[in-house]
Chain A
């Protein structure tokens, strides 16, 4: 459970960082860090806690967005499931396959977000420039993807290492007889 909480916190920090960066750069030029952390969750966590963590991270992203509450959480859950399915067939731990997957997933993310907003958000009008924005954002996301994947794995490994150490300490204190 602790790796899930650690990745959740990493995701929340990513959302906040993205919001601060959005102050200085157009959002379409920024990598979608919460999306990459969600994929990191799918590749490193077991499905149950991973799904819960993806939903919480989605809600944290909704908190920093004008989108309807639950939109990012809904899309994040679908992305989590898709990433697990693809990871079963392809080795996404390597840099280039992960970057290519992140590129495609970013495009899918944009399409889903636009479709949901068009369907549910009152007054939301779809414009041609949205397609361009969506495609532009795929590039920074793909470039940053391997680094975020390594970071997510490192966070989980550190957590597991700490847990293992605690278990070992308990073992040494057990009475011999």
Chain B
């Protein structure tokens, strides 16, 4: 009997490990669907990953930064002259626009709108990329100690990057627009045609829209619609590079080149505001219950 059990020990250990990983997967799936909190182990792993990643990627970042500084210096004089000329032109344009707005009485309304939409932007450093070719996410060095929560939009100077998917006190994982699970309600800036931008898993995005004439064309700029409450209105998503139209289909698709170069992201900004819809969608997902949650927002 003892010999029989000894022989079974290894298969049983193997089965127990497999079962444990399956339980972890199912637990994580439930937490991502928002039905329960992210497991303690998941939070510990995410929390541990960020500082190690930061340390390991430091030499590579320094080398890239040094090369970038050198390349910048080469063109800086020419660029400076060009920018000065452009600034003069823009100052003139601004003055004329302000005059026109004041004249039409719209300036006050625009100031009110800016106050309404202005949200605090928290800079965060990208410390790691997803190692899986099928998921697209970033590891950020800010967590819920900095008031970062799941469901907050992530942007860069060029446009929308993605959304925070999980947080711990000192780290966060942001799901990129490119991820196949990503969906963004968007509009074409020119024609206001509405659709859904979804990640294609590769380097491009897909815009799915209802056909009403030629309201989506190559070169059109796609921006967030603000519908759904996850992303604020007007964030740049990308530019239409190809329109696919089938005669029989009601829904057509267009390929969108993202505004953000996801391969070169080093710093992003977390928009520290999420609407009631975001709370419903992401409430509790990945956020540890830390006292900072109860602190009043500025």
A130 adjacent to B201 (CB under 8 Å): yes
Binds B, one of A66-74, A96-104, A146-154, A161-169: A66-74
Report Cα–Cα, A129/B173, bound state, in Å.
Answer: 25
Closest Cβ of chain B to A1, distance in Å, is 15
A19 adjacent to B129 (CB under 8 Å): yes
The contact of B13 among A48, A71, A123, by CB within 8 Å, is A48
Report Cα–Cα, A54/B111, bound state, in Å.
Answer: 58
B10 adjacent to A47 (CB under 8 Å): yes
Interface residues of B in 111-148 (CB under 8 A from A): 128-137, 139
Chain B residue numbers with a CB within 8 Å of A127 are 180, 200-202
> In chain A, what residue has the closest Cβ to B26?
A120
B52 within 8 Å of A by Cβ? yes
The contact of A19 among B21, B128, B181, by CB within 8 Å, is B128
A77 within 8 Å of B by Cβ? yes
Chain B residue numbers with a CB within 8 Å of A93 are none
Closest Cβ of chain A to B286, distance in Å, is 11
A120 adjacent to B21 (CB under 8 Å): no
B22 within 8 Å of A by Cβ? yes
Report Cα–Cα, A129/B137, bound state, in Å.
Answer: 19
Chain B residue numbers with a CB within 8 Å of A157 are none
Chain B residue numbers with a CB within 8 Å of A70 are 20-25, 28
Interface residues of A in 55-85 (CB under 8 A from B): 55, 58-74, 77-78, 81
B133 adjacent to A28 (CB under 8 Å): yes
A81 adjacent to B14 (CB under 8 Å): yes
B197 within 8 Å of A by Cβ? no
B41 adjacent to A137 (CB under 8 Å): no
Over the window 33-55 of chain A, the binary record of Cβ atoms lying under 8 Å from chain B Cβ atoms (1 yes, 0 no) is 01000000000000110011001
A–B Cβ pairs within 8 angstroms, 15 of them: A16-B52, A19-B53, A23-B129, A60-B45, A63-B49, A67-B132, A68-B29, A69-B24, A69-B25, A113-B132, A113-B134, A116-B25, A117-B134, A124-B181, A130-B134
Chain B: residues with CB nearer than 8 A to chain A? 10, 13-14, 17-18, 20-29, 32-33, 39, 41-42, 45-46, 48-49, 52-53, 56-57, 60, 128-137, 139, 165, 173, 175, 179-181, 183, 200-202, 263
